[in-house]
Amino acid sequence: MTHPFLDLPPLTAARFASIEDRVARLLDTRQDVVIMQGEALLPLEGAIRGTAGPGTTALNVITGPYGQTFGNWLRDCGATVIDLAVPFHTAVTADQIRAAFAEHPEIDFVSLVHAEAATGNTNPVAEIGEVVRAHGALFYLDAVASIGAEPVLPDAWGVDLCVIGAQKAMGGPAGVSAVSVSERAWARMAANPSAPRRSYLSLLDWKERWIDGGRTALPHAPAQLEMLALEACVERIEGDGLEAVMARHRAAASSTRAGVVALGGGLEPYVHDAREAAPVATTLRVPAGVVASEVVARVLAAEPGLPLAAGGGGLAREMIRVNHYGVDAGVGVVRGCVAALGAVLGELGMGVDVGAAVGVVEAGWR
Ligand SMILES: *Cc1c(COP(=O)(O)O)cnc(C)c1O
């Protein structure tokens, strides 16, 4: 008896290439797209180790925890790193990037996270891309949390290395990710003596052994389950229409925000300006005297399926994350989250209006 996902025929090179082409269409890019068969940290790390070295001066923008990680990899590669940290309740501006270039004209690499699911902000990549391009620096972007939730356009924005993962707004599996690589980025890697080679982290291996050979022979056995799941998730986005998927995430974010404001009780959107709030997830600040992780624990004890989490690390006391992405970007989940948060805050003695909040959430989807 054959098993539905154990006894699979081999995944062919042609199928693998066609999945890459579909991902390239999703990104509207003519750059090479390399599918990395691992969680998104694999291409995120591989792209930095491939392009950065002791001669690199990197501007590393920190708008959440991932920026911190990138800075550590860059330093590990021997790069000189200029950290530009902005408070987590806001986004970085193109003017801040411009000022950093004015102060350090030697910057030749910029790393940026597009949207941060962990802090709930999103950065103006198109405007920042113009500044980066004007200075000729290489532009590295983590679009894991933005792809599927808002436009991600590496060619239009001049992004040289654009990393995506399937596990957030794409509604796919966590074990597969991709990176688009510009000609400039390939040249930087080829000239970098410390770029990984003959390594699982190596993008150059994929270029030399797969792309340059016309994508006819895979360098090793592909991760079939993850590749098929990625194909299915891109197919589903194509079927629904990328615009419709993004609209669903926008509605989830704006209705969560509006619902929380209507709820009252001291719960507030963590990101002050709605234009800087990411469509992928909404972060909330709890009222003084209330511990976010305790509120989340009480909500999940009553309704374990809701996509709520406390902020990571030091944010666990003050931040609640509403992870309304993928299948959870819908009115039912948002209504459920806002109502359940209201119920727990009510139990804690906060003056909340759950009925008004639910009405506002529902209005946001009509
Ligand atoms: C989710 C996410 C990733 C992927 O990392 P995991 O923590 O393993 O899910 C990378 N970058 C950003 C900005 C993310 O939101």
302: left (phi over 0), alpha (psi -120 to 50) or beta: alpha
How far, in Å, CA of 7 to CA of 1, rounded? 9
Give the number of C-alpha atoms closer than 13 A to the C-alpha of residue 225, restricted to the C-beta side: 9
> How far, in Å, from the CA of 351 to the mean position of ligand 1?
35
Residue from 167, 170, 283 whose mutation best tests the ligand 1 pocket (most atoms within 8 A of CB) = 167
Instruction: Give the C-alpha separation, 303 to 305, whole Å.
Output: 6
Question: How far is the centre of ligand 1, averaged over its atoms, from the C-alpha of 347 (Å)?
Answer: 33
Q: 306-351: per-residue pLDDT in tens?
A: 999 999 999 999 999 999 999 999 999 999 999 999 999 999 999 9
Gap from CA of 355 to ligand 1 centroid (Å): 34
Ligand 1 center to 163 CA (angstroms): 10
- Looking at residue 315, its pLDDT comes to 96
Residue with tokens 């986005």: 237
Residue ranges covered by each domain of the chain? 13-240, 242-365
Quote the CA–CA distance of 45 and 25 in Å, as a whole number: 24
Taking residues 251-258, report their average pLDDT.
98
Parallel, antiparallel or unpaired: strands 282-285 and 319-322: antiparallel
Instruction: Pick the residue whose CA is nearest to atom 10 on ligand 1.
Output: 144
Answer yes or no: same fold for 13-240 and 242-365.
no
Question: Residues lining ligand 1, CB < 6 A?
Answer: 39-41, 66, 113, 116-117, 142, 144-145, 165, 168
Please compute the mean of the pLDDT values over residues 154-163 and round it to a whole number. 98
* Probe target for ligand 1 pocket from 39, 42, 48, 66, with the most ligand atoms within 8 Å of CB: 66
- For 242-365, which CATH class? alpha beta
> Which numbered atom of ligand 1 lies nearest the CA of 64?
13
- Is the pLDDT score of 1 beyond 90? no
What percent of the chain has pLDDT above 70?
100
Query: For residue 354, what pLDDT band results from cuts at 50, 70 and 90?
Result: very high
Reported confidence tier of residue 2, pLDDT bands at 50, 70, 90 = confident
Q: How far is the CA of 102 from the centre of ligand 1 (A)?
A: 31
* pLDDT tens track for 26-66: 999 999 999 998 999 999 999 999 999 999 999 999 999 99
Q: Hey, whose CA ends up nearest to atom 3 of ligand 1?
A: 144
Q: Reply yes or no on domain 13-240 having CATH 3.40.630.30.
A: no
Instruction: Measure Cα distances from 350 to 48, 318, 344 in Å.
Output: 47, 16, 9
Question: Could you tell me the distance, in angstroms and rounded to a whole number, from the CA of residue 116 to the centre of ligand 1?
Answer: 8
Torsions phi, psi for 132 (to 5 deg): -65, -45
Q: Give the mean model confidence (pLDDT) for residues 119-141.
A: 98
